[in-house]
Amino acid sequence: MIRQISHIYEFGPFRLIPKERQLLRDNQSVQLTPKSFDLLVVLVENSGHLIEKGELMKRIWPDSFVEEANLSVKISALRRALGEGPNDRQYVETVPRRGYRFVARVNERWGEGTESSHHELIEEGNNSMADASELRTDSVVRSDERVRIAVQLVHAATGRNLWANSYESELRDVLTLQREVTRDIVGEIRTRLTPQDHAQFGNVPQVNPEAYDHYLRGQFYLHRQNRHDNEIAITALERAVATDPTFAAAHAELAQAYVWKHFLFAPGERQWEEKAFVAAEKALALDPELAVAHLARGRILWTPANRFPHDKAIREYRRALKLNPSLDEARNQLALVYSHIGAFDEALQESHKAMTINPNNNLAHFRIGETLVYQGKYDEALSVLRAIPEKVNPAMVGHQIAWALFNLRRKEEATATLEQLMRDYPEDSGGLFTGVQAVLAASAGEKRTAEYKIKSAVDKGKGFGHFHHTAYYIACAYALMNKPAQAIKWLEVTAETGFPCYPLFEKDNNLNKIRQDVRFVTFQAKLRQQWEYYRSIL
């Protein structure tokens, strides 16, 4: 048996119980985020004394570096929770350029709680979120038309089944099914939250149902990465944040949708980059510890305008994963950066983790195939790439399939694949298809055709986020035509625009004709130093 003794602070109509992570106003629970609660405890425990901003940030975020703006956001949230108006400083005083002081009169006392044991609480049915629960799902696809999902909510400490349900629908209605399952799960968990849970975990967001519907629709289309679905995702997520401007996750996902539009489909329209930045910062202002917001910030960093700072993007993705290890898309984006800097084993590891978390993450599926191409495992890569649904980023998947076929010496099949891709997607995003066609022409000795394809690929690729792949194909085409100066120039462009893949350049047979050129040797030596630096931060 454990006798619970609590240190209690009373001020105005409030009672603060740090041990229980409770703030009560007239015996009613006041909901605070965990960091705002920690901030209140520090201020109250030092009431009447100035606490410097640096000291507060060190106390609230002991293991992280955060901007000072995060502290201001938490102070504002705390003041709102205490009922302070814009010009009312009944509780928290700001000392300009210094810090904050808790100014209300505080009474301290010790209180004694009821006798109970942890296991007795569990057995009595107080299935607190603090004791952790598991969500188990089992989905069975029946024929090609219907899907059934069975869901269990299980208490992790005891293995006891808390709740279960099953769902069935037509496959074409899978998005509606997703919404229904998610709503029921969230609703069931909320009914089990005690006031203590709310104090410990902060306010469980009461998202506007209409905003949540738009959010789910946006999520469904967000990572397909074709122009049509990107527009649907943007429209849905814009409606979500318009309906509920405090919906931080929707702002973060909208930031990603804007990045993909600018990166893949509208490279000449800089307003999308600005919109992405604003949406991500709004998400972080609403919740500085929102993992998906740090994912969005990483995506914004890893763009042509920012010159692809791989190390900074890696830090943001790792920050996202520290906050939420189950964020599969953060693992996929981390794998994307790893594969581009030549850390192939790490890229595959992160991609497989992402697929384990979410088997439907088609971009992680693609990342595995792409990385296998870079490793020269073309047969294995082809099997992976051809299993990806047709509408998922056809430009990126398609050019890698054609490139794998070419390197397997299946040139006729590669040519036919590219011709079909050009018919289906004549815009040829970034000149990727045309770039591979240039290599095919160069390998066949058709220099005039190769030069024409190179010019066309350059024209199509201006500003495209993944133009570094097109640049690499151009370098390979010039190498096959035994034009080392042009080949090395385009290898430099490849590396400078986001693809400094030293291990690939070192082994790709398409570059064999220029390997002895002193300029190539110098280029590779410089690139190896950069590669070793990246290895050191992994």
**3-class secondary-structure state, position 2:** strand
Residue 169 per-residue DSSP state: E
Does residue 312 contact residue 498 with C-beta atoms inside 8 Å?
A: no
Residue 508 per-residue DSSP state: -
**Residue where the block lists tokens 């979410």:** 358
Does residue 365 contact residue 395 with C-beta atoms inside 8 Å?
A: no
Q: pLDDT tens for residues 229-267?
A: 999 999 999 999 999 999 999 999 999 999 999 999 998
- Give me the pLDDT at residue 523, please: 97
Nearest CA-CA partner of 21 in 128, 116, 100: 128
Stated pTM of the model = 0.65
Picking from 87-96, 304-313, 362-371, 420-429, which range would have the lowest pLDDT averaged per residue?
A: 87-96
Q: For residues 485 and 491, what is the distance between their CA atoms, to the nearest angstrom? A: 10
**Hey, what are 367's tokens?**
């990342």
Q: For residues 333 and 312, what is the distance between their CA atoms, to the nearest angstrom? A: 13
Nearest CA-CA partner of 30 in 42, 15, 43: 15
| pLDDT of residue 409 exceeding 80 | yes
Nearest CA-CA partner of 470 in 451, 483, 454: 454
**Hey, what are 311's tokens?**
């190390």
User: Average pLDDT, stretch 69-92?
Assistant: 80
**Domains 2-112 and 302-537 agree in fold:** no
Helices (H), 192-327: 195-201, 209-222, 227-243, 248-260, 271-286, 291-301, 310-323
| pLDDT of residue 432 exceeding 60 | yes
Q: Give 177's pLDDT tier (boundaries 50, 70, 90).
A: low
CB atoms within 10 A of CB 191: 8
**Residue where the block lists tokens 């943001």:** 316
Residue 104 per-residue DSSP state: S
- Give me the pLDDT at residue 184, please: 65
Q: 302-537: which CATH number, 1.25.40.10, 3.40.220.10, 1.10.150.80, 2.60.40.10? A: 1.25.40.10
- Give me the pLDDT at residue 70, please: 75
User: Average pLDDT, stretch 122-137?
Assistant: 39
CATH topology of domain 2-112: Arc Repressor Mutant, subunit A (1.10.10)
User: Average pLDDT, stretch 219-226?
Assistant: 86
| pLDDT of residue 268 exceeding 70 | yes
Q: For residues 153 and 161, what is the distance between their CA atoms, to the nearest angstrom? A: 6
User: Which has more pLDDT, 101 or 137?
Assistant: 101
As a whole-number percent, the residues of the chain with pLDDT over 90 amount to: 56
Which residue type does 335 have?
A
User: Average pLDDT, stretch 156-172?
Assistant: 60
CA distances from residue 461 to 74, 139, 257, 406, 433 in whole angstroms, order as listed = 44, 42, 20, 21, 11
Q: For residues 424 and 209, what is the distance between their CA atoms, to the nearest angstrom? A: 38
Q: Give 156's pLDDT tier (boundaries 50, 70, 90).
A: low
User: Average pLDDT, stretch 268-295?
Assistant: 94
- Give me the pLDDT at residue 279, please: 97
Q: Give 193's pLDDT tier (boundaries 50, 70, 90).
A: low
Picking from 137-146, 151-160, 526-535, which range would have the lowest pLDDT averaged per residue?
A: 137-146
* Backbone phi and psi for residue 68, each to the nearest 5 degrees, phi listed first: -60, -25
- Give me the pLDDT at residue 482, please: 97
Q: For residues 294 and 304, what is the distance between their CA atoms, to the nearest angstrom? A: 19
Instruction: Tell me the average pLDDT of the chain.
Output: 84
Ordered by start, the domain boundaries in the chain are 2-112, 124-204, 302-537
The total number of residues written for the chain in this structure: 538
Beta-bridge partners for 24: 15, 29
- Give me the pLDDT at residue 457, please: 97
User: Which has more pLDDT, 512 or 537?
Assistant: 512
**Hey, what are 534's tokens?**
């990246």
* Backbone phi and psi for residue 225, each to the nearest 5 degrees, phi listed first: 60, 45
Give the neighbor-by-neighbor strand order of the sheet with 92-95. 50-52, 99-102, 92-95
**Hey, what are 7's tokens?**
């240190």
User: Average pLDDT, stretch 464-491?
Assistant: 97
